[in-house]
């Protein structure tokens, strides 16, 4: 019974980890895109390699935060929140790289996200979500 | 040819990512086995996963040189349609009906984003 107040405090920690994992994941992907663009013309340009190293470091931090988050949050909460990754990457692609976001693209992303959640979270209680699937994001 | 180069790289990233995650599932299922050291584990499915992960990252970067991130990233989600399809076959996993519906949604969504 004395665990109850600790439980709500711990929850916050795991939610923070979840938010961090999404933030780092989005930042990592945007940095990877930047690294890729900088490599056009010169595959091993220093600016590209440096950006890539930073991108992978940030992205790895995101993976670690995701693993931490999953220790204290059910997949049913964690997975829907990853929709923010799609939002962040779409916005970042538009804002930083001037990409056009047509309504077909946005609708397609919505369908993909809905599909990913449905695959990750089976409705039948007997069929537990596979932990390996939970480790793999994006 | 240069118009398709990015898409071939993206396809490779998706395929390798799928194989890698299937290998990881397989490795987690099998466990280390009797008498095998942790390093020896890299010889099996875990090693496959690591190589696939490295290769996927490489092809992902190459694909991003020409393909918009807002297009490529959602399409990467195709892995989550392919993985259940293969794990139901190879790993004897039973999938719920909602999961198969999810697979269909992903495929339709990827087709839309691919043509956007």
- pLDDT per position as a tens digit, A14-37: 999 999 999 999 999 999 999 999
What does the pLDDT read at residue A131? 52
Cα A63–A64–A66 angle (5° rounding)? 65
Instruction: Determine what percent of chain A is predicted with pLDDT higher than 70.
Output: 83
What does the pLDDT read at residue B1? 47
pLDDT at B110 over 90: yes
Is the minimum CB–CB distance between A132 and chain B shorter than 8 Å?
yes
Q: DSSP characters for B38-78?
A: HHHHTTTHHHHHHHHHHHHHHHHHHHHTTS-HHHHHHHHTT
ipTM for this prediction: 0.87
Contact A118 B102 (CB under 8 A): yes
pLDDT at A5 over 50: no
B-contacting residues of A 14-73, CB under 8 Å? Answer: 29-30, 32-33, 35-37, 39-40, 52, 56
Cα A78–A79–A83 angle (5° rounding)? 110
- pLDDT per position as a tens digit, B54-104: 999 999 999 999 999 999 999 999 999 999 999 888 888 888 999 999 999
pLDDT at A4 over 60: no
Banded pLDDT at B38 (limits 50, 70, 90): low
Q: Between B42 and A80, whose confidence is greater? A: A80
Is the minimum CB–CB distance between A130 and chain B shorter than 8 Å?
yes
The pTM score is 0.84
Residues of chain A contacting B101 with CB distance shorter than 8 Å: 115, 118
Contact A111 B80 (CB under 8 A): no
């Amino acid at each position: 019974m004395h665990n109850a107040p600790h439980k709500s405090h711990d929850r916050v920690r795991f939610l923070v980890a979840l938010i961090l994992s999404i933030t780092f994941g989005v930042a990592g992907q945007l940095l990877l895109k930047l690294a890729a663009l900088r490599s056009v013309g010169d595959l091993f340009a220093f600016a590209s390699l440096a950006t890539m190293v930073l991108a992978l470091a940030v992205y790895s931090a995101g993976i670690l935060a995701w693993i931490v988050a999953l220790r204290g949050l059910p997949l049913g909460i964690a997975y829907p929140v990853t929709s923010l990754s799609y939002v962040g990457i779409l916005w970042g692609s538009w804002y930083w790289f001037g990409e056009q976001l047509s309504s077909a693209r946005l609708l397609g992303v919505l369908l993909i996200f809905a599909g990913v959640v449905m695959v990750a979270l089976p409705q039948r209680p007997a069929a537990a979500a596979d932990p390996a699937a939970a480790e793999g994001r994006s | 040819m240069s118009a398709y180069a990015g898409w071939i790289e993206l396809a490779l990233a998706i395929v390798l990512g799928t194989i890698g995650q299937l290998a990881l599932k397989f490795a987690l299922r099998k466990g280390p086995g009797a008498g095998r050291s942790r390093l020896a584990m890299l010889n099996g499915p875990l090693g496959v996963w690591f190589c696939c992960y490295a290769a996927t990252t490489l092809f992902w970067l190459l694909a991003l040189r020409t393909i918009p991130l807002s297009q490529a990233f959602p399409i990467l989600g195709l892995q989550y349609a392919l993985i259940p399809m293969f794990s139901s076959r190879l790993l004897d996993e039973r999938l719920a009906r909602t999961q198969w519906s999810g697979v269909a949604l992903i495929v339709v969504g990827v087709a839309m984003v691919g043509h956007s």
